[in-house]
Amino acid sequence: MRIISGRLKGLSFGHKVFEKTRPTTDRMRESIFNALSHYINFEDENIEVLDVCAGTGALGFEAISRGAKRCIFVEKELHIAQEIRHSAHSLGIPQNQSPIAVQDALTFFNGFHLKQLPDYVPLFWNCIFCDPPYIERMLNKILHEIEKTNSLCPQGILIAEHDDIEHILLPKGFSILTSLTFGKTIVDIIQKD
């Protein structure tokens, strides 16, 4: 995998791809970020990004390369989280710009709600990438937690990746701006009012 655009453009990362990861391809990432360019300016120095069910970290790394202040990666599998750290190091991204929470998404948001996370964790994010394993059918549970914890800022953008079987139940105050289709994969770009 490689970074598509920004200050890290062309650099490779993620040399180990694990069985449980489903990397977002370069083509998909390029399409996602082209669509996002209409709704969010990653060059704004205050953009806080959250990459939930991060896998390879490709989406978060792309956001950092394009200028995001920081991306917090949430990944429950320790060996996959270690590979994200290795990739960040190889890309020259410091740990304070790419912290990793080794826990599942629901536990992360529950901890956020209970104020048990470290001080560097923002109170809300401008952009949240959410790409849970399709087979677990947990996207709607994660969306519920995002709404319950108020963790997406007003006018913030949520990118939800899922297969064509799972249907999104949008929380109140959220609307789909556009949807991208890649075979059986759907990427919904959602905005909070």
Residue 20: band (very low, low, confident or very high) from pLDDT cuts 50, 70, 90 = low
Q: Is residue 21 part of a domain?
A: no
Q: How far apart are CA 39 and CA 33, in angstroms?
A: 10
Tokens, residue 178:
């556009």
Q: Is residue 9 included in any domain, yes or no?
A: no
List the beta bridge partners of residue 163.
185
Residue at 10 is within a domain: no
Domain limits for position 130: 26-192
Q: Cβ atoms within 10 A of the Cβ of 115, count?
A: 8
Share of the chain above pLDDT 70, in %: 92
pLDDT of residue 110: 82
CA pair distance 137, 127, nearest whole angstrom = 22
133: in domain: yes
Residue 85 is assigned to a structural domain of this protein: yes
CATH code, domain with 170: 3.40.50.150
Task: Map tokens 């792309």 to a residue.
Answer: 62
Residue 2 counted as domain residue: no
Could you tell me which residues are beta bridge partners of residue 185? Answer: 163, 182
Over residues 132-162, the pLDDT tens digits come to 998 899 999 999 999 998 999 999 999 999 9
Q: What rounded mean pLDDT belongs to the chain? A: 91
Per-residue pLDDT of 164-190, as tens digits, reads: 999 999 999 999 999 999 999 999 999
In a domain, 165, yes or no: yes
Q: Tell whether 12 is covered by a domain.
A: no
Burial of 50 (0-12, 13-18, 19+ CB in 10 A): buried
Indicate the pTM of the whole model. Answer: 0.94
Number of domains observed in the structure of the chain: 1
